Amino acid sequence: MSKADSHQLVIDFAGASDVGMLRDNNEDAWWAGNMTTTATGWQGAETGTLPLDEGLWLGVCDGLGGANAGEVASRLAICETHASLASAGRGKISLGRAHEALMGANRAINAATSDRPSWLGMGSTISYLWIEKREAALGQVGDSRIYRLRDKRLKELSPDHSPVGRLRQSGRLSEAEARVHPSRHVIDQCLGGDDASLMPDCLPLEIRADDVYLLCSDGLTDGVCDAEIRSMMIEAADRLRQPSDTVRLLIKSANRLSGRDNVTVLLARVREDIR
């Protein structure tokens, strides 16, 4: 066994969600925890340390539907996806299971609208990481995002399910142009729609010590540019700032620069536990 394998990896995480400057209610949801704990579907400001070898789930959802219970959809998305993956065996990632968990969450949201017509039209984005030891699956529906900082390089890991997002990711729109595009909030994939048209992205990842992951709703990226996100993540990676402080400052920046939407940020810093 190598020295690296003999050391257990853990994450130090922090997350928080804010209603923003213009909204009356918060339709975002986030959750971080292991696979033996029942997901609550929403967390306030919280920090913690979690070992990777017990299986972890980290996710951010942005509810859609306004008065039609977007906050219900975002919480259902978290609870149903986590519960599906918690029933899988520990220690091994399955992209098929990661995909089915999203399809199951879609069915659960649709079933909820059938039982309560006033919820018709609700939906949610989801961006999540399912981690088992040093392997992970990324699950994506919609335009919330997952970033990774590795060796000081920032990479947007999550495919964007929106026309403007795809133009930005392909380089045909600059980040600044995408931020002010009139169709910037139009998405073409969400949980709570037709099963036949839902095409989640599920991607494999390798988790390494010193990685830093950021999961966020678009309330963050509406105002905060990638350069500022990278700068704050580097400070967290270099232990110059605690994850909770980084999350708080990112949300503060989002409200200062935009504030038009709910904003949710979840930061996870990977390290070796050598106790």
State how beta strands 201-206 and 135-141 pair.
Answer: antiparallel
Burial (0-12, 13-18, 19+ Cβ within 10 Å), 239: exposed
Tens of pLDDT, residues 114-169: 889 889 889 999 999 999 999 999 999 999 999 999 999 999 999 999 999 899 99
Burial (0-12, 13-18, 19+ Cβ within 10 Å), 241: middle
Taking 90 as the threshold, does the pLDDT of residue 108 lie above it? Answer: yes
Taking 70 as the threshold, does the pLDDT of residue 5 lie above it? Answer: no
Helices of type H across the chain: 3-6, 70-86, 95-115, 163-169, 175-180, 218-221, 226-237, 243-257
Q: Whole-prediction pTM value?
A: 0.94
Domain that holds residue 251: 3-273
Closest CA to 108 of 137, 75, 130, 140: 75
Percent of the chain at pLDDT > 90 equals: 79
CATH number, domain of 251, equals 3.60.40.10
Closest CA to 28 of 40, 17, 37, 14: 17
**Can you tell me the mean pLDDT for 219-226?**
95
Cβ pair 223, 257 in contact under 8 A? yes
Q: What is the domain count for the chain? A: 1
Taking 80 as the threshold, does the pLDDT of residue 68 lie above it? Answer: no
> What pLDDT shows up at residue 10?
96
Give the integer Cα–Cα distance in Å for 146 and 165: 13
> What pLDDT shows up at residue 1?
42
Tens of pLDDT, residues 259-270: 989 999 999 999
> What pLDDT shows up at residue 41?
80
Q: Per-residue confidence at 193, pLDDT binned at 50, 70, 90?
A: confident
